[in-house]
A and B are shown apart, each in its own frame.
Chain A
Amino acid sequence: MKLKDQFRFIRQNMKKNKMRVFMTILASAMSVAFLIVLASVAFGLHDTVIKDTIESPEVTQIEVAGKDAGNGNAESLTNQNITEIEALEGVNAVTRAKQVKQETRYVTDGYEIYSQTFQSHFPSMKNAGIELKEGSFPETKDEVAVGYHFALNLMKDDVDPEEVEYGEDGQLLPEYRFTGDIIGQTFDLEFKRMEDGEEITETVPVTVTGVLEQPGREWYWDQNVYITDEKLAELEGITGTSKAMLTDPGEAEEDTGYDTATVYADDLEAVKSVMTSLEDQGYYVYSIVSEMGQINTLFNIAKAGLIFIGTIAILIASIGIFNTMTMAVTERAPDIGIMKAIGASPKVIKRIFLLESTYIGLIGAIIGIAVSYIISIGVNLALPMILETVFEEELPAGLQFSSIPFTLVLIAVVICLGVTMLSGLRPAKRATEIDVLKAMRREV
């Protein structure tokens, strides 16, 4: 018997009980849509997180916290380490900083601010592609760059810090702070040195030449001042301690290592290999790429769990298919008996019923997939709007709640067809076992 004729049979049979077949298809369509929509949330959020990570500028950055000193302790990086790292394949630049180990105050006529001071290596920042919001990177000894929030927190020195007010953006109101052009502004850098147990205040001049961009993370606050190595050397010369530490020069420990170092890889692909070679050489490294593995595992578990729950829904729908097929076999038993008598082979009869249950499952799956896409698009459009009105908060752009990749469709189709075929197996086998004589006597 030809496959085409088998399908004609199936369609004729299905037409005989349209309502029942329709309800069965509806049930399997609903269960498939349930599975896909449920799992699509895990797929959507996973995509969003991955995209967020990959598109963030930090994705090519590797933080180097130190180097294994051989005894399990970490050592901070030296200039020689930096040269080594810069020579590695795939490394674009290595930015590094030493922190001045005391509180520093910056004063200009009528304004003051307490800030952390870092010595930075500006050429490598330039190479790393770090851009300034305004001005240019410092070049000579007295020039400095300041963080994005420096000027915003440069307070008038005649106001009581307890009484200042902040605007809605969390920044000082303009009437309490500096509002002029910060570029070219000259400050007194105030710091202290120890001499025979006494703290003595010293000042050196600095001029702002550049303001850094706002940090990538919104919650990150940058009101630091970035100085040149020559400037740090000047401070160290005055205090007589490394990194201008506030101790007696005689008691000071030698500490010339970098407090932070960030490797900028050429691109995302290079990050992995650079990470590996750094780790091999005993550096302690961190990158958000290394977190991605964990994120992936987490989401894959979530996906598997949701698909499993969806599969239960399909299993429930398969009871309907089982029922429909059992009834179809019972109703058609006399016809099957006649066909067997004429010479229809049991194999063909079994195949016809299996095809019929699979066909029902397939139509259900196709409708279910179509519905899932509609729901998914609807959710992605509506949910952000709802959340934004309810929580009155803007959601990050590009947030995707639901995504239906082809693999998910494939998984759902395979599960649905597998389950429907299984549920059609028993009725199909019953059809082949129909006794010709009993069927012709209408006894079944």
Chain B
Amino acid sequence: MIEINQLSHQFVLGKKGQQSRLDVLKNISLHVAQGGIVSIVGRSGSGKSTLLNLISGFIRPTEGEIVILDEKVSEFTEEEFAEFRLKNMGFIFQSFQLIPSMTAYENIELPLILKGMSEQARKQMTLEMMKTVGLENFKDHYPSELSGGQQQRVSIARALVLEPPLILADEPTGSLDSETEADLLAFIKKLNKERGITFVIITHDDEVAKIGDRTIEIADGELVRNGVFA
């Protein structure tokens, strides 16, 4: 599913003329199999989000290559990456990232609109997805009118509505209480089992890390553990 070869990333810091370079990821090689749940753990500032952002194409690697679903995404143009993301990736963010001026329904519908689907197909898929996440009664609520857990469910629905084979989540439970967190984890497990969706989840939380069939640990930009969680 994901194939990472000798990936390094540097951030350029400071003002022009007096710039310094910060090595955030150092020579990382990694393979993620299809249908698994991989959790990434590590101390704050170790480079977890950077790795996920590189996989997502939000930033481009300084060195090395990333291959997803047999496509060398690290060499994609912006345009190609956008299309690839829409088709193959779903995102769940810690802070949900819903569009505040759109209702729950409209937020979930957004990927379908971007895909250019007909209004009828959109309606059916969106409503079905809302039912799946248990939000069928919150169609016309704006994000500001939903609880944190409900917002996270909207964002999951949005990530899932196009049924992508890969879902990337950066601390998805960070803003949730432990009960809601448990619900979410159960839901992720179910999706993984029933639909075969691959998950890559960054987390600080051991509970979350436990649902993964494999945990990767990053320390100071280097892979220190790359194996099955014991």
| Cα–Cα distance between A5 and B109 once the two chains are bound (Å) | 12
| Contact indicator A346/B79 (Cβ below 8 Å) | yes
Interface string of A308-351 (1 = CB under 8 A from B): 00000000000000000000000000010011111111111000
A18 contacts across to B, CB distance below 8 A? none
| Contact indicator A436/B58 (Cβ below 8 Å) | yes
Tell whether A343 pairs with B53 under 8 Å between CB atoms, given A335-B99, A437-B58, A440-B93: no
Interface size class of B (residues with CB under 8 A): 20 to 34
Interface residues of A in 1-30 (CB under 8 A from B): 1-2, 5, 12, 16
Select the residue from A338, A339, A343, A437 with max chain B CB neighbours within 10 A: A343
Interface residues of B in 14-57 (CB under 8 A from A): 53, 56
A343 contacts across to B, CB distance below 8 A? 82-87, 89, 111, 114
| Cα–Cα distance between A341 and B84 once the two chains are bound (Å) | 11
Q: Is the C-beta of B110 less than 8 angstroms from some C-beta in chain A?
A: yes
Interface residues of B in 94-125 (CB under 8 A from A): 95, 97-99, 101, 110-111, 113-116
Q: Is the C-beta of B179 less than 8 angstroms from some C-beta in chain A?
A: no
Q: Is the C-beta of B91 less than 8 angstroms from some C-beta in chain A?
A: yes
Q: Is the C-beta of B153 less than 8 angstroms from some C-beta in chain A?
A: no
B85 contacts across to A, CB distance below 8 A? 341-343
B114 contacts across to A, CB distance below 8 A? 1, 339, 342-344, 348
Distance in Å from the Cβ of B144 to the closest Cβ of chain A?
14
Interface residues of A in 186-227 (CB under 8 A from B): none
Interface string of A273-290 (1 = CB under 8 A from B): 000000000000000000
| Cα–Cα distance between A341 and B114 once the two chains are bound (Å) | 12
| Cα–Cα distance between A299 and B42 once the two chains are bound (Å) | 79
| Cα–Cα distance between A12 and B101 once the two chains are bound (Å) | 9
| Contact indicator B116/A2 (Cβ below 8 Å) | yes
B101 contacts across to A, CB distance below 8 A? 12, 16, 335
Q: Give the tally of cross-chain contacts (CB within 8 A).
A: 59
| Contact indicator A437/B110 (Cβ below 8 Å) | no
| Cα–Cα distance between A431 and B135 once the two chains are bound (Å) | 32
| Contact indicator B158/A342 (Cβ below 8 Å) | yes
Interface string of B46-80 (1 = CB under 8 A from A): 00000001001011000000000000000000110
A348 contacts across to B, CB distance below 8 A? 114
A16 contacts across to B, CB distance below 8 A? 101
Distance in Å from the Cβ of A352 to the closest Cβ of chain B?
11
A347 contacts across to B, CB distance below 8 A? 79
B79 contacts across to A, CB distance below 8 A? 345-347
Nearest residue (CB) in B for A3 is B116
| Contact indicator B110/A339 (Cβ below 8 Å) | yes
Contact of A342 among B78, B95, B110, B116 (CB under 8 A): B110
Distance in Å from the Cβ of B83 to the closest Cβ of chain A?
6
B111 contacts across to A, CB distance below 8 A? 342-343
| Cα–Cα distance between A39 and B7 once the two chains are bound (Å) | 64
Nearest residue (CB) in B for A440 is B97
Select the residue from A338, A436, A440 with max chain B CB neighbours within 10 A: A338
Interface string of A422-444 (1 = CB under 8 A from B): 00000000000000110010000
| Cα–Cα distance between A2 and B121 once the two chains are bound (Å) | 14
| Cα–Cα distance between A440 and B89 once the two chains are bound (Å) | 17
| Contact indicator A346/B78 (Cβ below 8 Å) | yes
| Contact indicator A341/B99 (Cβ below 8 Å) | no
Nearest residue (CB) in B for A340 is B82
A338 contacts across to B, CB distance below 8 A? 97-99
Interface string of B147-163 (1 = CB under 8 A from A): 00000000000100000
Chain A residues near B (Cβ < 8 Å): 1-2, 5, 12, 16, 335, 338-348, 436-437, 440
With A342-B158, A343-B84, A347-B79 given, name 16 new contacts (CB 8 A). Answer: A1-B114, A5-B113, A16-B101, A335-B99, A338-B97, A341-B56, A341-B85, A342-B86, A342-B91, A342-B114, A343-B85, A343-B89, A345-B79, A346-B78, A440-B95, A440-B97
Q: Can you give 27 contacting A-B residue pairs, CB < 8 Å?
A: A2-B113, A2-B116, A5-B113, A12-B101, A16-B101, A335-B99, A335-B101, A338-B98, A339-B99, A339-B114, A340-B82, A341-B85, A341-B97, A342-B85, A342-B86, A342-B158, A343-B85, A343-B89, A344-B114, A345-B82, A345-B83, A346-B78, A347-B79, A348-B114, A436-B58, A437-B58, A440-B95
The 8 A-B residue pairs whose C-beta atoms are closest, nearest first, are: A343-B86, A343-B85, A345-B82, A436-B58, A335-B99, A5-B113, A338-B97, A2-B116
